[in-house]
Structures are given as structure tokens and as C-alpha cells.
């Protein structure tokens, strides 16, 4: 029953804020929209606690460096982005172009300064991300959120970390902050059912700029995955288990990629 009530609150709140965001897109400044998004995510986190019984604890924010950085986070739950955006006023983020298919969302994403990646664009899309969209965020020194796996992983599992996070880290020339979580225990992937309990989102020690690709990717993945395993109550093995194969695209998505 709590999950059903939460889903009702989730969709009513989301529709209300989406419609309310529409006129804010027309304002030259990004600030009103970002404050609106901040209010939305904090209200959603309130519903998570009051209705679904999911208490969120965010720790380690003092580890965030002053100024711009890459925030590279574990992705277990649809609620990950909600919690992350509830912590920051002006956060840029990387997302796939699949979100633009929803009414109003494309305009909202562009106004927010999101870095929208063409899922079918391959190397060209990655180059454009670094050369164009990343430069826009760099000019105003924004923090950038990215989920390196690119998919919602089951609790205790992981997908292969995509190299795009390294290209951003290298081009931006700033620290990368790993983020571990166990939110998937309470809100697994895109499941409509939530389990009451405490979920932790933890900002870990920043990775300084200047590492080469191999060392950076290994350090990032080991740091995030080991701490995330600890947060779900597992002892990390000496060697991490192999990553899951990427989910197969739906038939509709595959046809669109042709």
C-alpha cells in the first residue's frame, strides 16, 4: 500500500512540476528553473521518507572540492538522480537522448544545461560531448554528474564502466569524485515497489586530475564498487566479479538505430 501511495504522489508531483517548469524555460536566466528542480527533488525525497519509509542519509559532502568537478556515481535506482539533485542548486549532468522523447522534458533538459548524448552517435557523439557541451559547463565552472555504467545495475552487480567518464575527466582537467550508494536495496532499479529502510549515498575521496585512462578507470571502478558492496553489507572480494553484459536494447530502440 505504501508503494502504491508513493507512486501516486510521485506521478502527481512530477506532472505538476513539469507543467510548472514550462514557463520557466522562457526566462533567459537558468536560475528560476534550477530552483524549481531543487524544490521538486526535495519534495520527492520528502515523499520517499514520509510515504514509502525510505530515509536518505547523504554523507561525505565535505570531501567535494571547491569549484568544478566530475561526480561519478553508482547507479542502482530511479531515485539516484532525485537524491543527487536535492543536494545541489546548479548541477549539470550527462544523460542519453532517450529522455527527450517525453513531452516538455527536452526543453527542460536544454534549459538546465544538461549534456545530452546521442545514444546512437558513437565516437562522433563522444567527441561532440567533449568539444561542445562540456565546454559550456566549463565556462561557468559547474559540477557535472555522470553515471559511468550507463544503466541501472541490480544491487551487488555492475555494468562495464564506459570510457566517456574518462574523456570528461581528462577534458575538464578537474578532480573526479566517486559516489557509492545502497539505495537500490530500498528502491531497486525502476521497480514500483519500495522497501522501507535507510539508504546511504556517500561521496568518497576525490581522484586528482592528471591520471591516464587505465589508472583512472581502474581506480574509479574499484573505489565505487567496493564501497557500494560494503554499504549493502557485503565484504568486497579480492578481485571484483566480472561486469554484467550491457542490457540488450529493445526492438524499438534497435530499429531506430538502423
Is the confidence at residue 177, as pLDDT, over 70? yes
Q: Give the pLDDT confidence of 66-115 residue by residue, as tens digits.
A: 888 999 999 999 999 999 999 998 888 887 766 666 667 778 888 887 77
**Residue with cell string 565546454:** 135
- The model's pLDDT over 219-246, given as tens digits with 9 standing for 90+, comes to 999 999 999 999 999 998 888 888 899 8
Which H helix or E strand runs over 59? strand 54-59
d(CA 157, CA 182): 11
Cell of 234: 557485503
Q: Which grid cell is 125? A: 557523439
pLDDT above 50: residue 44: yes
Please state the three-class secondary structure of 136-182 as a single string. Answer: HHHHCCCEEEECCCCCCCCCCCCECCCCHHHHHHHHHCCCEEEEEEC
What is the percent of the chain where pLDDT is above 70? 87
Residue whose cell numbers read 524555460: 25
- Answer yes or no: is 230 within a domain: yes
For the chain, the average pLDDT equals 86
At residue 126, does pLDDT exceed 60?
no
pLDDT of residue 75: 94
Helix (H, G, I), strand (E, B) or coil at 104: coil
**DSSP symbol at 63:** G
Q: Is 96 helix (H, G, I), strand (E, B) or coil?
A: strand
Task: Give, as one character, the DSSP assignment of residue 95.
Answer: E
Does this model's pTM top 0.85? My answer is yes
In this structure, the strands spanning 91-96 and 197-203 are unpaired
Question: How distant, in Å, are the alpha carbons of 17, 101, 227 from that of 98?
Answer: 20, 6, 30
Residues 6, 51 contacting (CB under 8 angstroms)? yes
pLDDT at 40 over 70: yes
The pLDDT-based confidence of 154 (bands split at 50, 70, 90) is very high
| Span of 141-145, 193-197, 200-204 with lowest mean pLDDT | 141-145
Q: Is 199 within the bounds of a domain?
A: yes
| Residue 127, pLDDT score | 58
In a domain, 139, yes or no: yes
Residue at 121 is within a domain: yes
43 falls within a domain: no
- 50 falls within a domain: no
pLDDT of residue 114: 78
The C-alpha atoms of residue 60 and residue 151 are separated, in whole angstroms, by 24
Mean pLDDT (whole number) for 157-173: 90
For residue 125, what pLDDT band results from cuts at 50, 70 and 90? low
Residue 138's pLDDT band (cuts 50, 70, 90):
confident
Q: 572540492: which residue's cell?
A: 65
CATH code of 82's domain: 3.40.1130.10
Burial of 161 (C-beta count, 10 Å sphere; 0-12/13-18/19+): buried
Helices and strands: H and E segment counts in the chain: 9, 7
Q: Which three cell numbers stand for residue 36?
A: 524549481
List Cβ<8 Å contacts ≥24 apart for 44-50: 44/10, 44/13, 44/14, 44/79, 44/82, 44/86, 45/82, 45/83, 45/86, 47/6, 47/9, 47/10, 47/13, 48/6, 48/79, 48/82, 48/187, 48/194
Residue 179 inside a domain? The answer is yes
Is the per-residue pLDDT at 253 higher than 50? no
Residue 4 lies in a domain: no
For residue 88, the enclosing domain spans 55-244
Structural domains counted in the chain: 1
Q: By the 8 A CB rule, do 145 and 84 touch?
A: yes
Specify the pLDDT at position 64: 95
Burial class (CB in 10 A: 0-12, 13-18, 19+), 32: middle
Amino acid at each position: 500500500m505504501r508503494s502504491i501511495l508513493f507512486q501516486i504522489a510521485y506521478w502527481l508531483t512530477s506532472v505538476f512540476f513539469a507543467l510548472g517548469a514550462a514557463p520557466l524555460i522562457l526566462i533567459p536566466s537558468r536560475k528560476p528553473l534550477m530552483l524549481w528542480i531543487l524544490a521538486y527533488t526535495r519534495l520527492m525525497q520528502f515523499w520517499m521518507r514520509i510515504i514509502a519509509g525510505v530515509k536518505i542519509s547523504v554523507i561525505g559532502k565535505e570531501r567535494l572540492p571547491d569549484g568544478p568537478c566530475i561526480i561519478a556515481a553508482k547507479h542502482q535506482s530511479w531515485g539516484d538522480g532525485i537524491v543527487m539533485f536535492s543536494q545541489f542548486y546548479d548541477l549539470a549532468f550527462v544523460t542519453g537522448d532517450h529522455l527527450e522523447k517525453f513531452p516538455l522534458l527536452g526543453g527542460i533538459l536544454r534549459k538546465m544545461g544538461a549534456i545530452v548524448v546521442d545514444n546512437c552517435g558513437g565516437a562522433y557523439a563522444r567527441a561532440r560531448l567533449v568539444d561542445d557541451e562540456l565546454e559550456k559547463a566549463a565556462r561557468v565552472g559547474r559540477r557535472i554528474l555522470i553515471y559511468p555504467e550507463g544503466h541501472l545495475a541490480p544491487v551487488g552487480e555492475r555494468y562495464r564502466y564506459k570510457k566517456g567518464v574518462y574523456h570528461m575527466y581528462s577534458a575538464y582537467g578537474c578532480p573526479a569524485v566517486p559516489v557509492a550508494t545502497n539505495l537500490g536495496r530500498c528502491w531497486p532499479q525502476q521497480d514500483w515497489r519500495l522497501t522501507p529502510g535507510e539508504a546511504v549515498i556517500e561521496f568518497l575521496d576525490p581522484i586528482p586530475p592528471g591520471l591516464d585512462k587505465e589508472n583512472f578507470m581502474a581506480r574509479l571502478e574499484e573505489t565505487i564498487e567496493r564501497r557500494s558492496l560494503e554499504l549493502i553489507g557485503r565484504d568486497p572480494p579480492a578481485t571484483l566479479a566480472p561486469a554484467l553484459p550491457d542490457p540488450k536494447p529493445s526492438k524499438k530502440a534497435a530499429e531506430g538505430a538502423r
